[in-house]
């Protein structure tokens, strides 16, 4: 029996050492590749001060266009200036788009400041001011970016000529249970990022279908910038504050005349009358002048149905002229 325990203990120690060596190796390989990708993208980096840190801005489209469109990504999306382009190409000829990566996202700098919705919106506004830009802007947000832009247009309606929300987070739908689930998920992803396994996790679980139609080079950009974003202090703070931010947005909303559309990809409004009555109608009433446009598909609707989504956005902008 003692002999068996001795060999079992030895096997356990050897196995543990091998696992540690493997994880250290994957972490090193991941960081070397991430470093190479960051160097490749360095010429595309345009950092603008948001105060104590700098955010990356990608300017796309016609600088002399009719409208300036500020693009606000969903949670953890550090590659929106790549992944949105199949959709935004339908509006780039006549408008300028400013893709601003939040702190900790993509090519932006990280910060340990709390990511309250007020701070996030002030970051956007400070960057635009330091770029010499003046409103009013069209705000376009996806997922949680739609929640942030809802807050922006409610607090500073004079700065906004239109609001486009692509399958946005309904702030009156976020609860403590959803926050707990999000925190658990991000803890797992953050650990995976630290040991260099997150690109593999994202490829197998989350980006499986989205990467089918892009080159290997673009796929690496998506996977590694997404992974880098997951591990940032700022993103973890956003996740931890998702419930508090949702409550702050909900309490700030007051109806105004800013034209708004909400592109719904979730099927919930069409197939669930209780959802419409309990969540969508109260949300739309608090927003004011907000129309829902159904375009059913995955949450990344701008990617899956880029042409249809682009045309909805294009038609909305045309109505503002």
Counting residues of the chain whose pLDDT is more than 90, the rounded percentage is 48
Single out the residue of 305, 299, 294 nearest to residue 271, CA to CA: 294
Name the helix (H) or strand (E) containing 92. Answer: none
Rounded Cα gap, residues 123 and 114, in angstroms: 12
| pLDDT one-digit tens code per residue, 147-205 | 999 999 999 999 999 999 999 888 887 776 666 777 777 777 777 777 777 777 777 66
- Residue 226's region, left for phi above 0, alpha for psi from -120 to 50, else beta, is alpha
Burial of residue 167 (number of CB atoms within 10 Å: 0-12, 13-18, 19+): buried
Rounded Cα gap, residues 166 and 174, in angstroms: 17
Written as one string, the DSSP assignment of 104-160 is TSTTSPP--S---HHHHHHHHHHHHHHTT--S-EEEEEETHHHHHHHHHHHH-GGGE
Structural contact between residues 124 and 153, judged by C-beta atoms closer than 8 angstroms: no
| pLDDT one-digit tens code per residue, 94-145 | 999 999 999 999 999 999 999 999 999 999 999 999 999 988 999 999 999 9
pTM score = 0.88
Q: What are the phi and psi torsion angles at 205 (to 5°)?
A: -105, -40
Q: What are the phi and psi torsion angles at 91 (to 5°)?
A: -125, 0
Per-residue pLDDT band at 241 (split at 50, 70, 90)? very high
Once rounded to an integer, what is the mean pLDDT over residues 249-259? 95
Residue 276 has pLDDT above 80, yes or no: no
Mapped onto helix, strand or coil, the DSSP state of residue 72 is strand
| Mean pLDDT computed over every residue of the chain | 86
Rounded Cα gap, residues 178 and 173, in angstroms: 9
Structural contact between residues 121 and 115, judged by C-beta atoms closer than 8 angstroms: no
Residue 262 has pLDDT above 80, yes or no: yes
């Amino acid at each position: 029996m003692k002999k068996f325990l001795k060999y079992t203990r030895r096997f356990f120690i050897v196995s543990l050492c091998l696992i540690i060596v493997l994880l250290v190796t994957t972490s090193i390989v991941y960081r070397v590749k991430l470093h190479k990708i960051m160097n490749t993208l360095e010429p595309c980096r345009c950092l603008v001060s948001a105060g104590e840190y700098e955010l990356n801005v990608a300017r796309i489209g016609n600088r002399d266009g009719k409208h300036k469109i500020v693009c606000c990504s969903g949670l953890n999306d550090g590659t929106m200036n790549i992944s949105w382009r199949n959709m935004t190409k339908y509006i780039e000829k006549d408008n300028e788009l400013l893709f601003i990566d939040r702190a900790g996202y993509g090519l932006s700098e990280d910060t340990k400041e709390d990511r309250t919705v007020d701070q996030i919106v002030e970051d956007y506004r400070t960057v635009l001011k330091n770029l010499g830009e003046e409103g009013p802007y069209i705000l376009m947000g996806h997922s949680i970016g739609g929640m942030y832009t809802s807050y922006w247009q409610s607090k500073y309606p004079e700065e906004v000529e239109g609001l486009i929300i692509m399958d946005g987070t309904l702030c009156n739908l976020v609860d403590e249970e959803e926050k707990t689930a999000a925190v658990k998920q991000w803890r797992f992803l953050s650990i995976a990022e630290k040991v260099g396994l997150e690109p593999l996790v994202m490829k197998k679980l989350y980006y499986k279908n989205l990467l089918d139609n892009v080159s290997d080079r673009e796929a690496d950009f998506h996977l590694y910038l997404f992974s880098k974003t997951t591990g940032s202090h700022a993103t973890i703070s956003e996740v931890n504050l998702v419930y508090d931010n949702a409550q702050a947005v909900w309490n700030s909303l007051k109806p105004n005349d800013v034209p708004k559309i909400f592109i719904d990809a979730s099927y919930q409004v069409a197939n669930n009358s209780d959802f419409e009555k309990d969540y969508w109608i109260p949300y739309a009433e608090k927003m004011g002048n907000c129309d829902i446009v159904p375009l059913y598909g995955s949450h990344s609707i701008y990617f899956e149905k880029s042409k249809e989504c682009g045309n909805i956005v294009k038609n909305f902008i045309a109505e503002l002229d």
